[in-house]
Amino acid sequence: MKLTLFIICALWFGAAHGQIKGIVLGEGADGKKEPVYGAKVRLLQSGLRDITSESGEFRIILPKELPDTMVVSAFGFYNDTIIVTKEDRFTGMAITLFSDMLLPDVVISYWKSSRNISRMKVLHVEELTEQELRKAACCNLSESFETNASVDVNVTDAVSGAKKIQMMGLDGVYTQIQMENIPYLRGLESSFGLGAIPGTWIQSIQITKGTGNVVNGYESMAGLINLELKKPEQMERIYLNAYVNGMGRNELNFNSGFKLNEKWSSGWFAHFSSMPLEMDRNDDGFRDFPNGFNVAVLNRYNYEGEKMEAQFGVNAHMDSKTGGQMSRMDVIGDRYLVNVESKHIDFFAKTGFFMEKPYNSIGVVYNLKYQSVDANFGPRTFTGEEKRGYVNAIYDGIFGNTDHKYKVGLSGVYIDISQQADSLVQDRLEIVPGAFFEYTMTSSRHSLVAGVRGDYHNLYGFQYAPRVHYKFALSEYTDLRATGGKGWRVPNFMIDNISLLANNQQWIAPSETQPEVSWNVGGSFVQRFKLFKRQGSLTLDYYHTRFESQLIVDRDLSTSSITFANLEGTSYSNSFQTELTFRPSKTIELRFAYKYLDVKSSFGGVLQQQVMVPNHRGFANLGHISRNKRWEFDITASVFGQARLPQVMLPNGIISQDNVSEIFAIVNAQITHVYKRWDFYLGGENLGNYRQPNPIIDAENPFSDTFNANRVWAPIFGVNIYAGIRFSIDQPEEKD
C-alpha cells in the first residue's frame, strides 16, 4: 500500500471545525491512474463519511475530536489509511489506491553508518563502506583514509609525491595490507603502491588494530588492512568517474560487472590519471607535485557451483613520475630531477571446495607477482626487481557443533628480490613454508579466537607466532575486546626508506639483516547508546607494541649520513584512541576522535620519540544526506600536534635547533548532488590553506651537502579545489 499526500490548495477560512477534501485515484495493473467513483471515505472514531463522485472527489467536515483515522476503500482496490490531525484542516489530498490484482510490496528501509565496528567479529574490526569512500576527494587508496582517524597518511618527501600510512604511530611496513586476504603492497610495491588502487574499485575496507589472525600470515605487527573489491555479480553494469582538481590532476575510472551465465560472472576495472601541469605555489623552484601518469587495469572472474567456488584474475599497473626543479628554472649545469618508473603485474586466484560433511570446506589462495622500480633522486639512483609467489591452503571444520570451529592449514612464500641504492646492493632469496592452527569458540556472551603458526625461513630459521583474541558482551550495547600476539617480518632497508634518497646524506647499511619481531597487546571498549532517542556510540582502545628486534633508522647520529642499525635498547609504541559517533537527526551524523601516540626507540643509546610522529591528533567529521537522498554534504577537520623532527645541517653551516613541528589543522569538505544515474561532486582540501614553510632545505643548491627534501610534516600545496562526475547503470534485475 502506498499513499501519496500533497497540498493541492488552501481552503476557505471561517468554518467552525474545518474540513478536508480531496480526490481518490485508482492505479491498475497497466500503471494508469483514473478517478474512482463510489469509493468510501470514513473517519473511524467519529463515524463521519462520504462517497466519491464520478470525478473521484470527496469532502468531509472534521469533528472536534482529533486525531482520527481516515479509511479509504473501493471495490477492486486495496484499502488505504491516513491519520488526520488538526494540522490537516483546510487541506486537500490526492490519494492513490492500488489494484488488488497487484502483489503488495513491503519496503523495509534502515540506516547503516558508513563506518562501523562489527559486533559479530571477535577482533576489533572497523569497516569503511563504499559510502564512506565517497566522502574522500578521489580516487586512490592513500586518499581513502581522509575521513578516518585510525589510519594516518603522510607524504614521505617534497619531491616524489610518495605517501605512506601509519597505524598506532608505526610505519606502514608494520601494517599488513591485503586485497581480499591476499598479501598486497609488500616489498618493492610498498613505497609507491598506495596510488595504484583507485577508491572506485573498493567495496569496503576493514581495519584491524593489533595482530590479526594467524590464518592471514606472520607479518601483522601493528594492524591489518583488508581491501574488498567490488564483486562482479553485485557491482554496477557500467560505472564511470571523471575527476579534476586545482593541481591539474585529472582521472578517469571505469568499472563494469556482468554475468556470463548462471555460474560465471566477470568484472573489469580500469584507471587512468595524469598530472600534466607544473605547479610551484611556494616559489622554491621545485614542483609541488611530480608530473606523470598512472594506468591500472584489473580483470576478475567468479565461479559459483554446487560443490565449488572459484575466483581468479589479473591486476597490472604502471606509474611514471617526473619531479624536481621546474623546467622554467634557469640553472647552471643540470637541473635536479626526480624520476620514478614502477611496473607491476600479478595473478591471483581463490578456490573453495565444500565437503559432504556439513560445515567442512577447503579453501586455497594463490598469488604470483612481478614488480620493478627504477628511480633517481637527482644524482642518486635506485633499481629493484621482485618476483613473489604465495599460497595459503585452509581447512575449516567444527568440533561437535558450530560453537566450536577450527582452521588448520599450510602456507608458502617465495620472494626473489634484488635492490641497489647508489653503491649499496642487497639481493635476497626467501623461501618460507608455514603451518597454522586456529580455534574459535562462541557463546551468547563470550567469544574466543586462539591460534599459533610456525614458519621456517630459509635464511633465519624457525619463527613462531602465537595470537589470542577475546570478546565479552557486557550487555546488548556494550562490548569488551582484548588481544595479544606476536608478529615478525624481514626488513628491506632500501625500498622501505627509498624516500630518504631525497637528500645528499650518505647511507650506512646495517652490518647484517635480522628479522624484526614485536609483541602487541591491547583492547577496546565499545558502548552503543541512545540520547534524545538518537543513536550513538563511544569507542575507547589502547594498544602497546614492543619490539624484540627492529631495524632502526637513525637520522640524528650525523647530519651527513643516515645510519641503518639493528636495535640496541628499547623500542615501543603506545596508542590510545577514543571516538564518539552521534546522530542528532536522521540525516546528520557527527564523529569526533582523539588519538595519543607515544612512540619511542633507542637512538645512539638514548631513548627518544620517533621522528615525524605527532603525539596528539584531533578529528571531527560531519556528514549529512538529505531526506530525498539527492544531496550529500561532508566536512572533516583534523588537528595535528607537534612532532619531533630530525636534526639537519642548515645552509649557514649551523645544525637546526627548531626540531619540533608546528600544530596545524586541515579542513576538507565535499558536496554531492545525485540526479538519477548521475552524481556531481565539488569539494576542497586544506580549505584553511595551511602550508609548511620551506619544506625543502637549501632548495637553491640541490646538489649541496645541506639539501634535504625529507623534513615534510605538513601540506606543501595549500588549498586544492576539485570537481567530478559519476555515472552508473546498475545490473539488470533478474526475472523469475
CA 687, 692, 695, 699 torsion-angle sign: positive
Buried b / exposed e along 660-681 (16+ C-beta atoms within 10 A)? ebeebebbbbbebebeeeebeb
pLDDT confidence of 78, banded at 50, 70, 90?
A: confident
Report the greatest alpha carbon distance in the chain. 98
Strand order across the 551-558 sheet: 506-508, 561-566, 551-558
| DSSP labels, 377-440 | ETTEEEEEEEEEEEEEEEEEEEESEEEEEEEEEEEEEEEEEEEEETTEEEEEEEEEEEEEEEEE
Place of cell 584489473: 298
CA-to-CA dists, residue 76 to 99, 100, 611, angstroms: 6, 6, 76
DSSP conformation class of 210: S
Residue that is written with C-alpha cell 633508522 in the block? 553
pLDDT tens per residue, range 114-169: 778 877 789 999 998 888 888 876 678 888 888 889 999 888 999 998 888 999 99
CB 365 within 8 Å of CB 350: yes
pLDDT tens digits, one per residue of 324-334 = 999 887 776 78
Q: What is the DSSP letter of 713?
A: -
User: What are the CA-CA distances from residue 438 to residues 38, 214, 347 (Å)?
Assistant: 70, 7, 28
* Residue 417, phi-psi category: left (phi > 0), alpha (psi -120 to 50), beta (remainder): beta
Of the two residues 113 and 461, the one the predictor is more confident about is 461
Q: State the pTM of this model.
A: 0.83
Domains and CATH numbers, the chain: 19-98 (2.60.40.1120), 238-729 (2.40.170.20)
CA distances from 12 to 79, 92, 429, 469 (A): 29, 11, 89, 70
Q: Which of 730, 675, 722, 591 is nearest to 136 (CA)?
A: 722
Backbone angles phi, psi at 500, to 5 degrees: -75, 0
Closest CA to 323 of 196, 191, 153, 157: 157
Question: Is there a contact between 306 and 355 (Cβ–Cβ < 8 Å)?
Answer: no
| Mean pLDDT of the 651-667 span | 92
Place of cell 621456517: 456
Question: What pLDDT score does 556 carry?
Answer: 87
604, 605, 606, 607: CA torsion to nearest 10? 110
Q: Is the pLDDT of residue 439 over 90?
A: yes
d(CA 404, CA 567): 41
3-state secondary structure of 149: coil
Average pLDDT over residues 598-627: 94
Using a pLDDT cut of 70, give the percent of the chain over it. 94
**pLDDT tens string 8-22:** 333 333 334 567 888
pLDDT above 60: residue 109: no
Contact 509, 492 (CB under 8 A): no
Confidence check: pLDDT of 291 > 60: yes
Q: CA 402, CA 318: separation in Å to the nearest integer?
A: 46
CB atoms within 10 A of CB 437: 15
Unique residue bearing C-alpha cell 573453495: 352
Mean pLDDT of 74-100: 80
Residue pair 323/337 in contact (Cβ under 8 Å)? The answer is yes
Residue 416: pLDDT band by 50, 70, 90 thresholds? Answer: very high
More confident residue, 459 or 97: 459
Distance CA 137, CA 9 (A): 44
Size (the chain), residues: 736
Average pLDDT over residues 45-67: 83
Confidence at 453, pLDDT banded by 50, 70, 90:
very high
Report the alpha-carbon distance of residue 726 to residue 243 in Å, rounded: 9
At 91, which helix (H) or strand (E)?
Answer: strand 91-98
Sheet holding 202-209: strands in order across? 115-117, 125-129, 202-209, 223-229, 175-179
Stretch 422-451: mean pLDDT: 95
Distance, CA of 309 to CA of 450 (rounded, Å): 27
For the chain, give the percent of residues with pLDDT over 90. 67
pLDDT for the residue numbered 146:
84
Q: What's the DSSP call for residue 174?
A: G
Q: Say whether pLDDT at 49 is over 50.
A: yes
Distance CA 590, CA 298 (A): 36
Q: How far apart are CA 567 and CA 36, in angstroms?
A: 85
Q: How many CA atoms lie within 13 A of 361 on its CB side?
A: 12
Question: What value does the mean pLDDT take over residues 605-618?
Answer: 94
Which whole number is the average pLDDT over 635-663? 93
Q: Is 650 exposed, middle or buried (0-12, 13-18, 19+ CB in 10 A)?
A: middle
- pLDDT at res. 402: 86
- CA–CA–CA angle 457, 459, 465 (5° rounding): 30
How far apart CA 38 and CA 42 sit, in angstroms, is: 12
